Amino acid sequence: MKLIFIELFIIMHLLFGQFPSYDISEVDGSKFVLSVKPLIRSTSFSLGHHQLVKNDLNQRFYLSIVFPFGYDLTSMSFIEKSILGLPLLHSSLLISNNLRLNGKIGGFTSHDDVINYYSYGFTLGLVKDNPSLWIADLSVGKMDGPKYINCRTFDFSIIKSNLFNLFPFYIGLGNNQFNSRIFNINNEEIPNNISGSVNYIMLGKILSFFKWNVSPQIRLNIDFSQFSISFQKKFE
């Protein structure tokens, strides 16, 4: 029954979820950067998503489906405050007891655009005797396809696990950097590039749910925050 619930949630989200629109051609040129930045932040946060996993030498490979939801706190976005991020298929392969290689990929259609994106990176355990206690995560990603904009991103975070024995969870600090090129818009007020850097606090938890791990996670910043939930399957 629990497995059916998870499968229905995934199917309903993919069928009826509102994907972000990248049509920025009608955005007011005088407020263009402030209006478009929330969408870019949402895209960059999705590409830099850190998937929480447990290091287990008997279960080296994890496959996850990730659904992020962003929220603009500046009230400047040209679209509604709730900005659905990029749905992701995430994979993670344990190479050694303290090193994982990660990859994310996804795509969808929005209006006349065909959006495609991917990112890759690694997760490194920093404590020899307990690689999951402190970890460093790095990822590099890109998004292409929209007629007027693309995005390149770099994300790095340091994460501490098992913060409390009674109710253990993950907490971390990270930095997300993005650079987007603007094209096909003939307006001198609009820049060719929009770039920026966002520092954030991350909180997350791994919950066992039938044969799946369910991982809620939130990344907090004063201008933009993103909540995500992922469904993770482990393989030997």
Provide the mean pLDDT of the chain. Answer: 84
Angstrom distance (rounded) from CA 151 to CA 5: 34
What pTM, to 2 d.p., does this model score?
0.86
- The whole-number average pLDDT for the span 42-67 is 83
In three-state form (DSSP H/G/I as H, E/B as E, the rest C), the secondary structure along 126-151 is: CCCCCCCCEEEEEEEEEEECCCCECE
Residue 122 has pLDDT above 80, yes or no: yes
pLDDT band at 1 (very low <50, low <70, confident <90, very high): very low
Q: Domain range spanning residue 114? A: 2-235
Q: Which of 70, 77, 63, 53 is nearest to 10 (CA)?
A: 63
pLDDT at 23: 87
pLDDT at 5: 43
- The whole-number average pLDDT for the span 205-223 is 87
Element (H, E) at 40: helix 32-47
Alpha carbon separation from 27 to 72, 85, 170, 195 (Å, rounded): 17, 20, 38, 18
Which distant-in-sequence residues (6+ apart) come within 8 Å of 152 by Cβ? 141, 142, 178, 179, 180
pLDDT exceeding 70 applies to what percent of the chain? Answer: 86
Q: Give me the DSSP letters along 48-99.
A: TPPPP----TT--EEEEEEEEEEEESSS--SS-SEEE---EEEEEEEEETTE
Digit-coded pLDDT (tens) for 155-203: 999 998 876 665 668 899 999 999 999 998 888 888 999 999 999 999 9
pLDDT at 56: 65
- Residue that has been written with the tokens 């994907």 in this structure: 19
Residue 18 has pLDDT above 80, yes or no: no
- The whole-number average pLDDT for the span 59-78 is 86
Question: What's the token pair of residue 32?
Answer: 């263009």
Residue 205 has pLDDT above 50, yes or no: yes
- The whole-number average pLDDT for the span 109-130 is 86
Task: Please say whether the beta carbons of 84 and 19 come within 8 A.
Answer: yes
Overall residue count recorded for the chain in this entry: 236
Domain tally, the chain: 1
Highest-pLDDT range among 10-14, 61-65, 107-111: 61-65
pLDDT at 219: 95
Q: Give the Cβ contact number of residue 193 at 10 Å.
A: 9
Digit-coded pLDDT (tens) for 99-115: 899 999 988 887 778 88
Give SS3 for 21.
coil
Residue 15 has pLDDT above 70, yes or no: no
pLDDT band at 55 (very low <50, low <70, confident <90, very high): low
Q: Which of 177, 89, 175, 183 is nearest to 144 (CA)?
A: 183
pLDDT at 194: 94
pLDDT at 43: 92
pLDDT at 97: 83
